Amino acid sequence: MNPAATSSEPHVIDPAKRRLAIFIVLACTLLVAWAQYLIKLGANRLSHAGLMATLIGIFAIPQLFAGYCLYGLFTVMFIYALRNGELSILYPLIALSYVWVTITGVMAFHEGMNPLKLAGLAVIVAGVAVLGLGGGGGGE
């Protein structure tokens, strides 16, 4: 690793804390999926609303409001995790929420499942695993 790359880091991050940060973000993707489930319930009423009506709807429609509160909780946890991890690892990990959202869609909204979607889920999990397992070490 290029020594200049670490010179701006305020302190060397302990590997156990790095792993905790990765775990927190992965666990919090469940919150994102829950939030998106609620937002989907609320957003169906907004398909033809303008930008301003959408803004008001976030406060007026209970499902949208609850969904955004969960997003808020996720953001707090994400900020906490960012203190001990690399942004370039932690941010893409949020993609795991696609897996939960797709499963929720199939179970709650009776969306169809097909081989292409299933393959997509598997590849996302593989990508998250590569980042989560390989990125924790802090090097190549």
Partner 1 sequence: MTTPISSMVLVLIGSVIGSIGAIFLKSGAHAVNRRWTSIAFNWRLAVGIGTYLVSSVLFVKGMSNGELSVLFPLVSLGYVCTLAWSRLFFHEPITKVKLAGVGLILIGITCLGLGGR
Q: Round to whole Å and give the CA distance between 61 and 99.
A: 26
Query: What is the CA 125 to chain-centroid distance, rounded?
Result: 13
Task: Return the number of the residue (54 or 108) whose C-beta is nearest partner 1.
Answer: 54
State which amino acid sits at residue 62.
P
From the CB of 88, what's the least distance to partner 1, in Å? 4
Question: Binding residues for partner 1, per CB under 8 A?
Answer: 1-2, 4-10, 39, 43, 46-47, 51, 54-55, 58, 68, 71, 75, 78-80, 82-83, 86-89, 91-92, 95, 98, 102, 111, 114-128, 130-131, 134-135, 139-140
Nearest to 94 by CA among 81, 111, 110: 81
Nearest to 15 by CA among 85, 96, 101: 85
From the CB of 76, what's the least distance to partner 1, in Å? 10
Task: Return the number of the residue (27 or 126) whose C-beta is nearest partner 1.
Answer: 126
